[in-house]
Structure 1
Amino acid sequence: MASSLKAAKQQLRALMRQRLSNISQESVASQSRRVYETLQTFKPYNDARRISVYLSMPAAEIQTDAIVRHALSAGKQVFIPYLHKSPLQTPDTPARVMDMVLLKSLQDYEGLKRDKWGIPSVDPDTVSQRQRILGRPDAHHSELSTLDLMLLPGVAFDFDATESVRRLGHGKGFYDFFLNRYLARQGLRADDDSSLQLYGLALTEQLLDPTTGEEVPTGPLDRRLHGLILGSGEVRASEGDRLVG
């Protein structure tokens, strides 16, 4: 079962890589602009004080630079991904895991260096001076850090039979593992309700058409999202979240 699920995900990723490689930079830019404009009137974003935003690759996904700048200028606390060697000793823990770390200012954001994929990345030497959402395993005496909204990337998205958003990531499991640890820190199970809103940002080409028979394969550790904000400017919310904005 696990091997067939992995193979199905790899097959869809290969298909999406080919499909997304044909999208022009002009289309990516215009779709990113519409997502940004939609966020300006999106209630979960406007209400959120502490948000997590992925920092985008130069191509083939919604660009988040304008979103980060707006959130900082609006006085929100903006947390961005930080990948590091896992300090956890539990079985089945990935070698590398993700935490979310706080941007101190616009100047801090503009000072980030790009990694080999062209993604702005946090200098590991600065992490000890930054607020973190998960922190170290022995940080249970510190104040519990929470988020109100996460804006997630993905390779492909669709809706299951219950109208929940399924997300296909890049295959490393960083977001799902982070979310499961985050909920555990709050004393919640994976299927419990949480105040944290999860929204994917997607190019229109990343939302699978159900009439083609394509769908996102998922397993028990894959988290559903509350909704999608598409490059068309449309917000597609899960059935239980139709009234959020």
Structure 2
Amino acid sequence: MVTKQLLRRQIKTAIRALDCGTIAAESHAISKVVRSLIASINARRVACYMSMDKGEVMTEEVIKNLFHDGQEVFLPRCTHTSESKHFKLREDHHAHLIFHRMSSLTMVHNLRPVGPYQLREPEAHIDEATSLDLVLVPGVAFDIKTGARMGHGAGYYDDFFQRYKILHEGQKTPPSRAMSYGASNFAYSFRETRFPYGLYSLWRRFHTLG
């Protein structure tokens, strides 16, 4: 049986094999789809992520377009319940995400890399998001049949959406869309035992989470 851990490694290997031209072309195409999506649902408060150097759709153009089109932009910071004093979703203190409002593209460019992944993150004193209209998330793999998302395994976004529902009880959870390269998409169910087949280029599609 193919496990999620094995599948995650295989997909990451496929993504690492992508050349710079493919990465640039697919990231640009995705940014255009995102722009159209945001306009179609009239999203004003959009959460995005700062892409890692490898393995994730590059989000620089997406973020630039958000500012150009007048959206409010929110980026994540990884913190810990012992630091943030947020409620715990597990028995022990644990890491979780907080999204902060970026006032300008210059502010984004001035963010410094921090943490084990050397991601550029907002500082803790910057205003936190109180509500969101759309959340753009990264992912390692996606099932083109069901839209199921597989992340990096840390559970940050699962935690975030669960936390959001609790903090905004009675409100609708914001729609979320995952951005991925074609090599991240496969016709395979986590519950099935056969090896994934057909790594289709589906960067024009977005799969709703939850």
Q: Flag whether TM exceeds 0.5 (same fold).
A: yes
Residue segments in structure 2 that go unaligned for 5+ positions in a row: 192-199
- Change beyond 3 A, Cα 1:113–1:132: same
Match of 1:54 in 2: 49
Answer whether contact 2:179 2:203 (CA < 8 A) is retained: no
CA distance in 2: counterparts of 1:195 and 1:90, whole angstroms? 18
1:122 partner amino acid: P
Query: Which residue, 194, 198, 210 being the options, matches 2:172?
Result: 194
8 Å Cα contact 1:202-1:231 kept in structure 2: no
- Structure 1 residue 131 displacement after superposition: 1.6
Query: Is 1:41 paired with 2:40?
Result: no
CA–CA distance in 1 between the matches of 2:25 and 2:62? 14
Q: Alpha-carbon deviation of 1:69?
A: 1.1
Q: Does 1:168 align with 2:163?
A: no
**Alpha-carbon separation, structure 1, partners of 2:113 and 2:201:** 24
Equivalent AA in structure 1 for residue 189 of structure 2 = E
Of 117, 123, 127, which residue of structure 2 is paired with 1:131?
127
2:131 maps to a residue whose letter is T
CA 1:174–1:166 in 2, change beyond 3 Å: closer, same or farther?
same
- Give the counterpart of 1:146 among 114, 117, 131: 131
- Per-residue Cα deviation, 1:161-183 (whole angstroms, up to 9, x for no partner): xx4x2110111110000100101
Q: Structure 2 CA distance, aligned partners of 1:45 and 1:64? A: 20
**Counterparts in 2 of 1:82-97, with a 5 A limit?**
82-86=77-81, 87=85, 88-89=87-88, 91-92=90-91, 95-97=94-96
Structure 2 equivalent of residue 142 of structure 1 = none
Aligned to 1:70: 65
Equivalent-residue separation in structure 1 for 2:41 and 2:65 (angstroms): 11
Counterpart of 2:111 in structure 1: which amino acid?
Answer: L
Shift, 1:90, TM fit: 5.2
Q: Deviations over 1:119-164 (max 9, x none)?
A: 32223xxx22x2213xxxxxxxxxxx1100011100001145xx4x
For residues 31 and 90 of structure 1, do their structure 2 counterparts lie closer, same or farther at Cα, with a shift above 3 Å needed?
closer
Quote the Cα distance in structure 2 between the aligned partners of 1:117 and 1:231.
Answer: 27
Partner secondary structure for residue 84 of structure 1: strand
Which one-letter code corresponds to 2:117 in the other structure?
A: W
2:99 and 2:38 map into 1 onto residues whose CA distance is: 23
- 1:233 CA displacement: 5.2
- Partner of 1:156 in structure 2? 141
Contact 2:49-2:136 at 8 Å conserved across structures: yes
Q: 1:183 is aligned with what amino acid?
A: K
Could you tell me how far apart the structure 2 residues matched to 1:29 and 1:179 are? 29
Task: Give the total of aligned pairs.
Answer: 195
Counterparts of 2:111 and 2:201, CA distance in 1: 26
Match of 1:203 in 2: 181
Partners in 1 of 2:93 and 2:23 — Cα distance? 32
Match of 2:194 in 1: none
Identity %: 21
Cα 1:40–1:98 shift into 2, 3 Å = closer
Shift of 1:89: 4.5
Q: Is the 8 A contact 2:165 2:173 kept in 1?
A: no
User: What displacement does 1:73 show?
Assistant: 2.0
**SS of residue matched to 1:40:** helix
Q: CA RMSD in A?
A: 2.6
What runs of 5+ residues in structure 1 fail to find an aligned partner?
Answer: 134-144, 218-229, 239-245
